Amino acid sequence: MYVENTIGNAAAQLLWSIIDKIPFIHRISELRSAKLQGLKRLWDDWIGGGVNSAGIVVTGETALKHSAYWRAVNLLSSQMASFPIGLFKRLPNGNTEQIFKHPAVRLLTRQPNNVMTPFVWRESSQANVLTRGNSYSYINRDNFNNPVSLIMMDSLNMNPRSEGNKLVYEYLGEVFDPYFILHIPGISFDGVKGKAVLEAATESLGVGLAMQKYSADMFKNGAKQTGVLTHPLALSPETRIGLRQSFEKNIKGPDGGTMILDEGMKWTATGIPPDQAQLLQTKQFSIQEMARWFGIPPFLLFEESRSTFSNISDQGLAFIIYTLTQWVERWEAELEAKLLTEEERDDHFFKFNMASLMRGNPKDRAEYYAKMAEYGFMTINEVRRKEDLNSIDGGDEHLVQVNRTPLNKLSDGTEGNEVPPGTGKGVPGREQGG
């Protein structure tokens, strides 16, 4: 089941053991094949990660109310969707050539299906992986087995399982061959089905949601004016009730109210201010917990208490290396396995262009391009294409500094740019005798 919960498994077994004893239901094969998937969906929608130590029920819906959880899912999903992706072919001379005319390229860069753009499809797929552990898309193929569309499937209704020695995907009672299912899993312990962060982070999410509820209740009840009201005389039960209702009517709400005390009554405040209760520190810790679960630097979740101008760049680089790279590897491997033919997989490969992350920093981008062009790694037109600029005449030549000298020239006492005296050769615009 999607949520590996002892109570959930026991409830499922008990429920279906009763149903199986009913003869006419027992003979309905469609219901029997889909029963666990239906119960799984019901359990996840209503129970989700289960009740934790904080007493909060964490489900797929309630977890998204945790601001740091929402931000983490949104960040990773949108980032994976924003990377340019291309199909490349390895050439015999070691170079690579980008392939533009291929059915898979059209799906991944123009339109995966009739209702989604490539960005939305990838974003939704990655969000499913993060929140539900897996993302599934049906690969609709033509008569020549070329992929013609990618249709998202509800991951809660999908059940990957073994049938003999073969992996199959069961969806609402129908069985599919892996050839027709594009499956992006999260971290997996069986190599097939991924595990969602929600399943493992129930305690952390429960604490964060409980803290949010506490904050809301505190301001709702006018926390700064919580205390004890004393009267010099003994009061009847009716008088106590009336006095309490009148008093709470004035002080309830985030701004409180004006209190008028007579007959010798005294008010003693007992509420703990938010700073004394370390409310802000608790919120910061909750954000840091989500950052750990998702592998995201806290500053990207807008928690910057320990970030400085000097270390933010290093944190951003660590995010690319240790978090985004693993997701890119998962996507590239699955796309190659399912959208390319066996023959194409020998020399074709998909690649996400992670260099696009540099677009947010013009200074670093300019320095990178300058070095690549200076040492002849890129031409001027290659740099311009990276910036979505048109090519220029003469911009396809690889340029290097004129005073760069090969080592073998230094060993025999000559310089690589040395020319015979008086010839003017090698100097632009000059001829002998000029």
The pLDDT of residue 168 is: 96
Q: List, in sequence order, the alpha helices (H) in 21-117.
A: 23-26, 29-46, 60-63, 67-82, 103-109
- d(CA 139, CA 169) in angstroms, rounded, equals 13
Under DSSP, the state recorded for 97 is: E
* Residue among 433, 401, 398 at smallest CA distance from 417: 401
**Cα 139 to the center of its chain, rounded Å:** 23
CA 179 vs. chain centroid, Å, equals: 26
Which amino acid is it at 351? K
Q: What is the pLDDT of residue 5?
A: 45
Rounded-to-integer distance, Cα 260 and Cα 245, Å: 14
Start-to-end CA span in the chain (Å): 86
- The DSSP line for 267-335 is EEE-PPPTTTTTHHHHHHHHHHHHHHHHT--GGGGT--TT--TTTHHHHHHHHIIIIIHHHHHHHHHHH
Cβ atoms within 10 A of the Cβ of 303, count?
Answer: 20
Tokens (6 digits) for 409: 């020239």
Beta bridge partner(s), residue 99: 87
Beta carbons within 10 angstroms of residue 61's beta carbon:
10
What residues does each domain of the chain span?
1-47, 54-213+274-358, 361-417
pLDDT of residue 4: 41
Report how far apart, in Å, the C-alpha atoms of 322 and of each of 7, 24, 255, 315, 316 are: 35, 54, 46, 10, 10
3-state secondary structure 123-152: HHHHHHHHHHCEEEEEEEECCCCCEEEEEE
Give CA separation, 275 vs 224, 302, 388, in Å.
11, 20, 50
Give residue 218's pLDDT: 64
Amino acid 315: pLDDT: 86
Query: What is the structure's pLDDT at 317?
Result: 85
One digit per residue, the tens of pLDDT, for the chain of length 434 reads 333 444 554 555 565 555 555 544 443 444 444 445 555 544 554 444 555 666 677 888 888 989 999 999 999 999 999 999 999 999 998 889 999 999 999 999 999 999 999 999 999 999 999 999 999 999 999 999 999 999 999 999 999 998 888 999 999 999 999 999 999 999 999 989 999 988 888 888 887 887 777 777 666 665 455 667 787 878 788 877 877 777 777 665 555 556 666 677 776 766 555 555 566 677 788 889 999 999 999 999 988 887 776 678 788 888 999 999 999 999 999 999 999 999 999 999 999 998 767 666 677 788 888 889 888 899 999 988 888 788 899 899 988 877 776 767 666 555 545 445 545 454 444 444 44
